């Protein structure tokens, strides 16, 4: 895998007003990079700001502060329609709810071809139809599905249609916002395997947002863990599972069930108590070992380092 940066997120903030005087810090100073060809997993419990992060990166929301650089260009500096159109072709999103994200009044053909039409990617109606049929087959459906409507499909099939729509403009980067959370467990693995195959075939880069850590480990090269708008830990997928450092990460991992009755009988949940942290200074994102970053104070940094050395 090349180590060429495709996306750089620098001190990204997304604040929303709540009532007259209070502010919700949905994303509060995130900094991370995503490299070409990798899958970067972003995990955390509901409400931690991970979906807001994805939506801010793709400019569904304007950032309160910070920068997002894609292919060396500042995403939030783009203002003209022409610039935004060019950017939207390179970055696409797969949404969480396959029921709500497809227009029920449009045929599958028109849903998938929407991006093709906007960007003028087909010379005529014959080429447009051919592209739609090809995309349907790419995601495991067939061309006979093109003239049907979304309500005629199952959840898994609808998500495949959503994936085909995202692929229609030949993007480099796809933000998958909890793409499997609304699907049956039996279908989830099929959709994740499809995403992995498409990545290999097309050289795609993913930001994969989810709260299911076991599935994120399966698909991701690196994982960032979010808690209340901040990233608390970032490491290679295997490293994060073998050597979790931040207490919140340990708590999340302790909640993953395994298909092993003996293990489950003795599994101990690790509760997370935010009040246990050192409050003598503002925590910073520090590299505890090569490629493994943790949000901590100086005192906690020394403590975590000693923990790792004693393992």
What is the tens place of the pLDDT at every residue in 68-107? 999 999 998 877 888 888 898 999 999 988 888 899 999 9
Residue 162 burial (CB count, 10 A): 26
Q: According to DSSP H, which parts of 139-274 are helical? A: 155-167, 185-202, 213-219, 237-242, 247-254, 261-266
How large is the average pLDDT for residues 230-256? 94
CATH code for position 88: 3.40.50.300
Q: What is the pLDDT of residue 298?
A: 95
Q: Whole domain around residue 261: which residue ranges?
A: 246-311
Q: What is the pLDDT of residue 24?
A: 92
For helices 108-118 and 155-167, give the axis angle rounded to 10 degrees: 20
Q: What does the alpha-carbon distance between residue 23 and residue 80 come to, in Å, rounded to a whole number?
A: 30
Do 86 and 141 lie in one domain? The reply is yes
Q: Locate 273 and state its tokens.
A: 């108590």
Q: What is the pLDDT of residue 256?
A: 82
Do 66 and 103 lie in one domain? The reply is yes
Residue 177 confidence (pLDDT) above 90: yes
How large is the average pLDDT for residues 153-177? 94
Q: 243, 261, 289 — which closes off a domain?
A: 243
Do 219 and 258 lie in one domain? The reply is no
Q: 201, 224, 243 — which closes off a domain?
A: 243
How far is CA 140 from each of CA 98, 168, 270, rounded to the nearest angstrom?
16, 15, 40
Q: Locate 90 and state its tokens.
A: 């390179």
Do 113 and 57 lie in one domain? The reply is yes
Do 71 and 184 lie in one domain? The reply is yes
Do 156 and 291 lie in one domain? The reply is no
Do 200 and 119 lie in one domain? The reply is yes
Number of folded domains that form the chain: 2
- Give the residue carrying structure tokens 């493994």: 292
Do 229 and 279 lie in one domain? The reply is no
Do 191 and 119 lie in one domain? The reply is yes
Do 171 and 300 lie in one domain? The reply is no
Q: What is the pLDDT of residue 255?
A: 84
Residue 220 neighbours by CB under 8 Å, 6+ apart? 39, 40, 41, 208, 237
Q: According to DSSP H, which parts of 168-236 are helical? A: 185-202, 213-219
Q: What percent of the chain has pLDDT over 70?
A: 99
- The predicted model scores a pTM of 0.93
Do 171 and 280 lie in one domain? The reply is no
| Termini Cα distance of the chain | 30
Do 147 and 252 lie in one domain? The reply is no
**Sheet harboring 65-70: ordered strands across?**
22-35, 5-18, 65-70, 73-74
Q: What is the pLDDT of residue 42?
A: 97
Q: 185, 216, 243 — which closes off a domain?
A: 243
């Amino acid at each position: 895998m090349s180590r060429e940066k495709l996306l750089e997120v620098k001190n990204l903030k997304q604040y929303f007003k709540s009532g007259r005087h209070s502010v919700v810090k949905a994303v509060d100073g995130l900094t991370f990079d995503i490299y070409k060809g990798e899958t970067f997993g972003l995990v955390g419990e509901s409400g931690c700001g991970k979906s807001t992060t994805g939506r801010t990166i793709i400019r569904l929301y304007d950032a309160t502060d910070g920068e997002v650089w894609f292919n060396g260009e500042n995403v939030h500096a783009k203002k003209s329609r022409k610039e935004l159109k060019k950017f939207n072709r390179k970055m696409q999103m797969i949404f969480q709810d396959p029921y709500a994200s497809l227009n029920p009044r449009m045929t599958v053909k028109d849903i998938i071809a929407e991006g093709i039409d906007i960007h003028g990617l087909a010379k005529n109606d014959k080429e447009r139809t051919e592209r739609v049929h090809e995309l349907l087959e790419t995601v495991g459906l067939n061309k006979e599905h093109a003239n049907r409507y979304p309500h005629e499909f199952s959840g898994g099939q609808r998500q495949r249609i959503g994936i085909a729509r995202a692929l229609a403009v030949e993007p480099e980067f796809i933000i998958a916002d909890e793409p499997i959370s609304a699907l049956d467990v039996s279908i989830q693995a099929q959709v994740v395997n499809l995403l992995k195959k498409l990545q290999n075939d097309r050289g795609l880069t993913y930001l994969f947002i989810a709260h299911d850590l076991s599935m994120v480990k399966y698909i991701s090269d690196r994982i960032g863990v979010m808690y209340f708008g901040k990233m608390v830990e970032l490491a290679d997928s295997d490293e994060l599972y073998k050597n979790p450092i931040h207490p919140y990460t340990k708590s999340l991992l302790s909640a993953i069930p395994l298909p092993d009755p003996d293990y489950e009988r003795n599994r101990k949940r690790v509760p997370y108590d935010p009040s246990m942290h050192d409050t003598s200074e503002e925590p910073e994102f520090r590299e505890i070992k090569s490629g493994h970053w943790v949000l901590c104070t100086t005192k906690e940094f020394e403590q975590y380092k000693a923990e790792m050395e004693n393992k």
